[in-house]
């Protein structure tokens, strides 16, 4: 009984390691056609070595000894034995047994997955058919038909794993095959996804946050591990990760890895953001006492030390709300803008969104220095000039009076003409 031939028979063995990511799988693959293991010499077995590198750069080993250096990538087996191939860039392949025994039990040369349809067949040399076949698992007889040569393990279950053999009459003698190991693998996990409560991955500081991992496909015992960032050290195991009282250092990207023992699937990262209450609201520019002139543009900015979205900003002028947003642009100000200014930063946190936190900035005192009405400078200048003129006149009169007094004091004729002097007798 010969198996199917062609590339359709080669693909399953290649996918054994590449698709499942089995433990110990190597990048170099040794394909067997027909795709049955162990292979039998009378089937004209063809071995093909697949791996990185150039054609003809293959080294073959038979029974763990160097057998053919720089050999072809593919050849037809002429002798029984254990074959392995090597490619320089991808290493050594798994082994393939080719037997030439009177009775052989064969299984498909591919990974056996839970739920598959699998046939084990008991075969003898072509010219010596086998009769009265019995099947054994772990050296215990399974029973069954005395005329059939095939054992169906469908659908395949994890408990079907074990060492199988067959016995029967070949010609006139009883023969027992060498045991083969059947390993049933669980369906590789796939479609791994994460969910989180509260939704969106946002929680307030001190809240409880739960991440859950599910796999759309996968059979057998699945194991879960949780990781944050690029760390390979698991945070926890199990399908759920519970953070009882989250803190700011719990923010980051979380990922779950699911394994069935043979292969591992990873979820897409989920971003967790821990929202922190606002604190230390401040106004810039400083200082808190600011003097400006009318017409000058003034812009005030409000900021907080901890920025946890969403944050809203409200501006107060002398205790009354005047604007929203982190910037307050007063434009060309006048005396009416004088007064105290404060900023109120607010954010709503918590799973219900009803916990409100506020941070009130210190007061900023703004003083707009007033200026006079039009003509004020002209009036002042006129008053100054008039005062100076009067001062000059007073100084001039004083000088004139002094000179006049000095002049009369020094003139002798003045005394004779004094009105109060009485003339003498004639």
Give tens-digit pLDDT for 336-385: 899 999 999 888 776 555 677 788 888 899 888 876 534 343 333 333 44
Cα distance between residue 93 and residue 76, in whole Å: 17
Q: Which residues contact 158 (CB under 8 A, 6 or more apart)?
A: 114, 184, 186, 219, 220
Question: Exposed e or buried b for every residue in 199-225, given b needs 16+ CB within 10 A?
Answer: eebbbbbebebebbbbbeebbbebebb
Please answer whether residues 347 and 275 qualify as being in contact, where contact means their C-beta atoms are separated by less than 8 angstroms.
Answer: yes
Q: Which DSSP helix (H) or strand (E) runs through 231?
A: none
At residue 186, the pLDDT reads 86
Count Cβ atoms below 10 Å from residue 262 Cβ, excluding itself. 19
Q: Quick one: pLDDT at residue 351? A: 57
pLDDT for 382 equals: 37
Question: Could you give the CA distance from residue 39 to residue 46 in angstroms, rounded to a whole number?
Answer: 10
Mark out the alpha helices in 279-423 (DSSP H runs): 376-409, 413-416
For the stretch 244-250, contacts whose Cβ atoms lie closer than 8 Å and that sit 24 or more positions apart, written own/partner, are: 244/208, 245/206, 245/207, 245/208, 246/203, 246/204, 246/205, 246/206, 246/207, 246/208, 246/209, 246/272, 246/274, 247/205, 247/206, 247/274, 248/205, 248/274, 248/276, 250/209, 250/274
Q: pLDDT digits over 32-78, tens only? A: 999 999 999 999 999 999 887 776 789 999 999 999 988 899 999 99
List the domains of the chain with CATH numbers. Answer: 1-100 (2.60.40.10), 102-185 (2.60.40.10), 192-273 (2.60.40.10), 282-368 (2.60.40.10)
Q: How far apart are CA 166 and CA 107, in angstroms?
A: 12
Confidence (pLDDT) at 7 = 33
Ranges of residues in the chain with a pLDDT under 70 are 1-26, 55, 144-147, 286-287, 306-309, 350-354, 371-393, 396, 399, 401-426
Q: How far apart are CA 248 and CA 266, in angstroms?
A: 26
């Amino acid at each position: 009984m010969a198996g199917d031939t062609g590339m359709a028979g080669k693909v399953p063995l290649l996918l054994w390691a590449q698709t499942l990511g089995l433990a110990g799988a190597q990048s170099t693959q040794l394909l067997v056609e027909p795709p049955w293991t162990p292979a039998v010499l009378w089937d004209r077995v063809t071995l093909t070595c697949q791996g990185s590198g150039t054609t003809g750069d293959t080294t073959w080993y038979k029974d763990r000894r160097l057998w053919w250096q720089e050999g072809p990538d593919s050849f037809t087996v002429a002798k029984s034995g254990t074959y392995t191939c090597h490619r320089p860039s991808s290493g050594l392949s798994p082994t393939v047994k080719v037997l030439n025994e009177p009775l052989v039990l064969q299984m498909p040369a591919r990974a056996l997955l839970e739920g598959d349809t699998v046939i084990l067949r008991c075969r003898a040399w072509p010219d010596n058919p086998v009769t009265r076949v019995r099947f054994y698992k772990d050296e215990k007889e399974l029973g069954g038909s005395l005329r059939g040569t095939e054992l169906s393990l469908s659908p395949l279950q994890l408990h079907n794993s074990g060492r199988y053999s067959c016995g029967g009459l070949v010609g006139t003698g009883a023969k027992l095959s060498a045991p083969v190991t059947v390993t049933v693998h669980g369906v590789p996990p796939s479609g791994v996804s994460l969910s989180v409560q509260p939704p969106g991955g946002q929680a307030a500081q001190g809240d409880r946050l739960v991440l859950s991992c599910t796999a759309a496909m996968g059979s057998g015992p699945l194991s879960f591990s949780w990781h944050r960032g690029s760390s390979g050290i698991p945070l926890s195991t199990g399908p759920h990760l519970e953070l009882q009282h989250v803190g700011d250092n719990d923010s980051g990207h979380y990922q779950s890895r699911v394994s069935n023992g043979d292969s591992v699937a990873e979820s897409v990262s989920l971003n967790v953001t821990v929202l922190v209450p606002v604190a230390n609201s401040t106004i810039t520019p400083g200082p808190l006492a600011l003097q400006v002139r009318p017409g000058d543009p003034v812009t005030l900015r409000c900021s907080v030390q901890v920025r946890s979205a969403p944050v809203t900003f409200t501006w107060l002028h002398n205790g009354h709300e005047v604007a929203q947003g982190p910037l307050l642009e007063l434009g060309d100000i006048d005396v009416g803008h004088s007064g105290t200014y404060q900023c109120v930063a607010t954010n709503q946190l918590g799973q219900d969104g009803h916990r409100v936190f506020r941070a009130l900035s210190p007061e900023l005192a703004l003083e707009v220095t007033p200026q006079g009405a039009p003509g004020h400078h002209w009036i002042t200048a006129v008053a100054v000039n008039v005062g100076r003129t009067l001062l000059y006149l007073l100084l001039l009169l004083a000088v004139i009076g002094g000179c006049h007094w000095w002049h009369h004091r020094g003139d002798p004729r003045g005394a004779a003409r004094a009105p109060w002097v009485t003339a003498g007798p004639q």
